[in-house]
Structure 1
Amino acid sequence: MTQTQLGRACGYSASAISRVEAGALRPAEQALLRIAQALDLPLDAIGLGRPATLARDVTLDQEDAMLRRQLLVAGMAAAGVSVLPSASAAAARPDASARIVGALYESEPSAPMSLQQLKASLASARAHFAAARYQNLGDFLPGLLGSAHATREALSGRSREEAHACVARAWVLATELALKAHSDVAWPAADRALAAAQASGDPVVHGEAARVLAITMRRSGRPVAAVDLLRRTADSLSRGQGDVPGAVAATLLMTAAYTAACGQRRGAALDLMAGAEEAVDRLTSARFLPGSPLFTVDATSAQVDLYWIGVHTALGTPDEGVPYAARIAPDQLSTTERRARYGTDCARMWHRLGAHRKTFTLLRFIEQVAPEEVRRPALRALTADLLYAPVTVPGVRELAARTGVV
């Protein structure tokens, strides 16, 4: 749900919703009631003192719906509405993606380096992402982007194309970081990634950039266009030679399936997942180790199972995701970031099924394997939802305090 969509639902402009979220505007009581109705917020969470329970999320994108509810509660608290005894503003860490804003309009002054050095620097940034060290990645990216741009401008011919690919992948990481924080920076970062990928002439890098752009499109309420982009790019990669393009195509089909599911297009989502599963099976039979050559994603059977969980949860059939969750051992997933994603998707599945204790157990798992991941806005929103669960779950309030929710 975008600010514009929420504004239409409750009689506010998008800019007014933005001011409410920022704590600069306190809505009147009738407006608060409309906001609560639109977002399925309990009335006591926004200071109206009338206890209610959270309804299940049935939205375009569950993650963004939960985030928008949390933003409104936090913003209303800042505007003077009595909510949870919150210290979230003080406890929350700064948004790591904010460090890349400057790079969008003016690169950090940097000297060119060799392509070998640039690729090594890019690998270091990728390692931060894979290990879910988002603060470190946010600190590292401005310098990397500056060096990548300076290096590209100093080269020509095939070397320049390789530098374009490095620039594209640096912006892919910037987009991934912005998406983790639900930051508007994701749109321009994804656009930069795609432009550099097209200039590189590398179809694999182009596929990686198209994927993050499609996610920003889905987050902005354009799931149909996002699925179309992912399908076309996957088809193009499938016609190429080698297993790496096929692996990237499989990841695009998985992303397209989840996007279709968020748009409640069940038939398309299931068809796309079936296609992704077949593509990964072909890679496995070819004795290809899928995870290693890819940049920020995997094309493994465990990754397919993980996407099945997300697809069924988004479609409103989380019970159908349970068998897939049972098949995954977290250590099958190649990176800390993917293991945290396993915890996130399973937590959402159990939350939709009303299994609050299992949801909490998975949030604790995420906190243990990737402490920065559990502080993401979407996971803080999930923690906040558990505080209003009809069953008290021991340890939730302590987790909420550690992650800046209360």
Structure 2
Amino acid sequence: MSADPVANDPTSPFVSVRIKEFRLFIIQRFFFIMGMRMIATVIGWKMYQLTKNPLALAFVGLSEAVPAISLALYAGHVVDKSDKRTLLFKMILLYFLCTVAFLFITWQHTELSLGKKFVQLAIYGVMFCTGVLRSFTGPATSSILAQLVPKTILPNAVTWSSTTWLTASVLGHASAGFLVAYTGYGGTFLLIMIYVAIAATALFQIERKPIVHSNKGQATWESVKEGVRYVFKTKELLGALSLDMLAVLFGGTTAMIPFFAGDILHVGAIGFGWLNAAADIGSMFIIITLTFFPLRKKQGMLLLFVVAGFGISIISFGISTIYWLSFFALLVSGALDGISVVIRGTILQLKTPDEMRGRVSAVNSMFINSSNEIGAFESGAAAKLLGIVPSVIFGGTMTLLVVTTMWFKAPTLRKFEY
């Protein structure tokens, strides 16, 4: 019998997990993402306690988004001409140092001796640094995936990668709330440091990968433009990325969850942690389901329908004043977003040539960072102008408008199948 796990059973839902380096990859992804999500949750709660100002939370997202978006295209060029494993390993080590900085910033003695204003500004500064690192880690992670498994099982690997990401996100959000409540910020950041160290150790065991950039002598700007041109001429890819960016830009509620938890639903850190994890729980459940029962046809049309459902669930969350109903609305939004993540991730992997994965993934990272971090800023600014509840309802309504527009403006996406 062949020792090749793909040849033995290529249709198994576990086919990609049987590859050792892919297992190491998802271990790295799990612990690194869990650490990142815990930081986002803890810093959001810390800033809420410091300021009680939605605009202050909005600037947390913006401080990370500005470098992540500004450097994304250059980062993609660097990723394509670099050994992706080594580059990603260096970025994770630097992220460990950022975690150490957060440990110091949130230490009670720091706030007492240097003041709340220093803590707030220092958080913005370190978040800026993590944004720089994220501009490289996103494209490097997406690019190395295709070097770990055969192309024939990429959809399966993408699904497992997404499941890992969402599972880590759920545990990161929820556990951060519990840990802050029971062990304080110090204990939470010490655990995050351990998680990041585990991620670095797993990644280090993966062998270095060959560089497949088609033109190593190509000028940086020409290389960057080549990646952008490819995305804009590949209509299915452009449509999927645009839909995700605009929907999350307007429909994102993460930045406002501390205010719903504290001021509207009147729950503490634990309730906040679960509410923050609700969407990811829904996403994790649906992606695990898709691992065993993958989507077979009309994925493009389905993408439009699930994003519309996402908008409706966000409106429901904005209206609700009952904790369990708010939790359920976010749970549904996450389940629908999980379907979107799988479809978009599969389109990205299948439609991108190997020699351009870093640059195309960088464009994808720009779309994601724009929607998440700029979306957080938009949510905070809208909440300041309109009020917390009206801003969320407005965002969900705009998401429905985006889907309606894309239905007519992106027919190739609507008809896309894989």
Does TM, normalized by the shorter one, top 0.5?
no
TM-score w.r.t. structure 2 length?
0.28
Structure with higher RCO (Cα < 8 A, 6+ apart): 2
Higher helix share: 2
